[in-house]
Structure 1
């Protein structure tokens, strides 16, 4: 970070908090109001902390390093193009990795110019850089605000379904250390986490509530586009359980039990067909995630990451030979490692310790529910509540994906943050039903 960060960050913080207190009066109620400023503050603190960690812990101590530093330094190249010529700046911003002789003086300095995913983050950082005089700290805070906006609408969406679980959803969505640290700074994770919140909000409003359908569908489409460009596998994990949720919601509104039993398999089959078609279409032009190559890609990622950071944080879940069959065989271990590890005795640094405590919370709540009700009753209960079915299914699919692709806890802690609010929210919902079995009707606004 530079001197201008020390000068501009406090000024922008005043503007941000002034705007936040104004927004709080418009977008909160008496139950959610107390969480708005603390949750935003954690996101802003996480953004600044991540930059400092990369500068003084991972970096040389003179400049921000790692991926966040690369995004920033390449965004500054776009800003310099704007300073030289508005025309050059606009052309560089809207380019897609193609060779342009007039822009070569800029593009040859950009490591990720031909990488659509990373270049999208760079262009987003450049937009924020224009309104922040190129300050890293302010750009990072803008990423944090973007992420916070998605998490806030996710929070409000869960409360539409279970309005009595305000504190529980606040913990699950805002107060998990990994989520507000890794999901706040100038990184891919901040944009995708925020976009996932908007996808959840837009999906529920469009297909479940069926309110302001056109407007909410546009929100859903825009948020899906961000995820598609940056981390398409999040969309692939979200799509099947989301479609199944739509079908089960509509199925439950059929009054006749006989017709409902007859139609439900049709809804399930249609959901699977649409999910497969959606996944095929989404990945048709992306070699990394095409369905026929995903097994081999997973093997390469796992081996590379485990070797790249084999410093005590690597884990092994079994042998991956590039086939879909080998991925299925390691699925249980992959899910366990993503949801419940690292264990406390596997901790090697302070960041792993925070992740271990989060995993311990997941283990405690999961075992508490299993021991109280039994595994078979839990399966029946989960499948009877569409929102819980969605949360658990999305979490398991996503845990399987990141568990097989990470290879070490250092990357896993970042990769898995999209599932954490959903899985913990599902656990809190189930725990609430166990605590108040006689008042279960009052828990859910939609029941």
Structure 2
């Protein structure tokens, strides 16, 4: 933390809070108003805490690399010549001729998903005098904008459980910690929030404005560009949501909807399998074989590093990444993503917080599952199109990260897109069965 952080960051916090109080009446109602500033505040806390943990506990890491070997170099280029900084921000895969000396020092150059973070952080560095923590709170605002859009959409969908929706979307600690600072996860989580908001606006509320379509397509592109596995996990559930929504209007019988919905889910997943095959034909990098091999290599590397540096790794049994092997890992992969590490698997303070959060989430899930009843619980999943969407996304996404991470530290970060949606789904099902929803 440098002198510019101590001077610039408080100024930015004051300006951003002033902006928040000005905009709050435009994006809240009497019921949601009370959550706006606290929701923004925990994002600021998360962004600053992330920086402090990486700076003083880990003594380096992704967020510091994006700053030291990305934004900081853009700032140096700006001091040399503003046009060089612009060239770096707008650069593609090829080194810009006028800023080659600077571009060659950026370790993320050529890695377009990672370089997306450098672009945003570098642009913000110019306006924050290259203060890491000022850049971080600006990232927090980006994250909060998407988070609030998600909260707004879900609160509109189920207004009678507003405080539980706020808890699920705004106040899960791991989400506002890992999803607020200078990381890919911040931009992808914000994109996810806007994606769901625009999808609900178009499909549920019939607001087919051009802006909603632009948001939907733009966020899909960002997710695909920055973290393709989020987009690939999201699309099956989104397609299913659209299909079931109109299907439920056409088929009035509740029994028939419950019976036919699982068939629709299987059909959508089967269609997405062939879509993935087609994607692989167009781009070998994203073929199923390549993605499975990437998952295997990533899992082995992360597990090795975790064992060497502190023992935060986990195993799902054998190292078989064939289709049969992956099928055996399906349930354990989903389970580890949602409900582990267990308390006895904790190896460091960060893992302890993750374990406590996982235990609380598991407690909510078990309570709702048995209180509602097995048949009614799954009946609500198949009956409500939005919950069907979130359920499919949860299962597909958790399996994908569970079988490819093998490190609890990384998993805590990777799983944040699914945490609010899974928690909201639990609350929705429980309170709907309790006849609280209107």
- TM category, shorter: over 0.9
Counterpart mapping for 1:333-412 below 5 A: 333-412=332-411
Counterpart mapping for 1:139-218 below 5 A: 139-218=135-214
Superposed CA offset, 1:422-441 (max 9, x none): 0000001111124x2xx36x
Match of 1:69 in 2: 64
CA shift in 2, pair 1:266/1:30, >3 Å: same
Shift of 1:123: 0.5
Match of 2:233 in 1: 237
Match of 2:423 in 1: 424
Q: How far apart, CA to CA, are the structure 2 residues paired with 1:29 and 1:353?
A: 37
Q: Indicate if the aligned counterparts of 2:142 and 2:186 stay in contact, CA closer than 8 A.
A: yes
Matched, 1:248 2:254: no
Match of 1:45 in 2: 45
Counterpart mapping for 1:213-224 below 5 A: 213-224=209-220
Superposed CA offset, 1:170-211 (max 9, x none): 111111110011111111111111111011111111233220
Shift of 1:24: 1.2
Q: Indicate if the aligned counterparts of 1:317 and 1:330 stay in contact, CA closer than 8 A.
A: yes
Partner SS for 1:312: coil
Partner SS for 2:160: coil
Shift of 1:95: 1.8
CA shift in 2, pair 1:266/1:371, >3 Å: closer
Unaligned runs of 5+ residues in structure 1 are 60-64
CA shift in 2, pair 1:282/1:124, >3 Å: farther
Q: Indicate if the aligned counterparts of 1:51 and 1:185 stay in contact, CA closer than 8 A.
A: yes
CA shift in 2, pair 1:281/1:28, >3 Å: farther
Find the partner of 1:300 among 297, 304, 309: 297
Q: Indicate if the aligned counterparts of 1:147 and 1:191 stay in contact, CA closer than 8 A.
A: yes
Superposed CA offset, 1:108-149 (max 9, x none): 211111111111110011121122121111111111110011
Of 166-175 and 310-319, deviating more is 310-319
Q: How far apart, CA to CA, are the structure 2 residues paired with 1:72 and 1:256?
A: 55
CA shift in 2, pair 1:202/1:245, >3 Å: same
Shift of 1:374: 3.5
Shift of 1:354: 1.5
Q: Indicate if the aligned counterparts of 2:338 and 2:398 stay in contact, CA closer than 8 A.
A: yes
Partner SS for 2:159: coil
Find the partner of 2:122 among 118, 121, 126: 126
Match of 1:62 in 2: none
TM-score by length of 1: 0.91
CA shift in 2, pair 1:428/1:246, >3 Å: same
Shift of 1:276: 4.3
Partner SS for 1:164: helix
Partner SS for 1:321: coil
Match of 2:26 in 1: 26
Partner SS for 1:320: coil
Q: Indicate if the aligned counterparts of 1:251 and 1:267 stay in contact, CA closer than 8 A.
A: no
Q: Indicate if the aligned counterparts of 2:78 and 2:126 stay in contact, CA closer than 8 A.
A: no
Q: How far apart, CA to CA, are the structure 2 residues paired with 1:223 and 1:180?
A: 20
Of 71-80 and 178-187, deviating more is 71-80
Superposed CA offset, 1:280-302 (max 9, x none): 56666655542232222211111
Q: How far apart, CA to CA, are the structure 1 residues paired with 2:395 and 2:22?
A: 39
Compute the RMSD of aligned alpha carbons: 2.3
Partner SS for 2:108: coil
Shift of 1:380: 2.3
Q: How many residues align?
A: 434
Q: How far apart, CA to CA, are the structure 2 residues paired with 1:319 and 1:162?
A: 43
Q: How far apart, CA to CA, are the structure 2 residues paired with 1:284 and 1:118?
A: 25
Matched, 1:79 2:75: yes
Partner SS for 1:342: coil
Q: How far apart, CA to CA, are the structure 2 residues paired with 1:172 and 1:373?
A: 19
Shift of 1:216: 0.1
Matched, 1:107 2:98: no
Q: How far apart, CA to CA, are the structure 2 residues paired with 1:132 and 1:319?
A: 49
Q: How far apart, CA to CA, are the structure 2 residues paired with 1:148 and 1:223?
A: 15
Q: How far apart, CA to CA, are the structure 1 residues paired with 2:162 and 2:384?
A: 19
Q: How far apart, CA to CA, are the structure 2 residues paired with 1:339 and 1:268?
A: 21
Partner SS for 2:144: helix
Superposed CA offset, 1:283-339 (max 9, x none): 666555422322222111111100011122111112233323211110111111111
Of 74-83 and 389-398, deviating more is 74-83
Unaligned runs of 5+ residues in structure 2 are none
Higher relative contact order (CA 8 A, sep 6+): 2
Match of 1:12 in 2: 12
TM-score by length of 2: 0.93
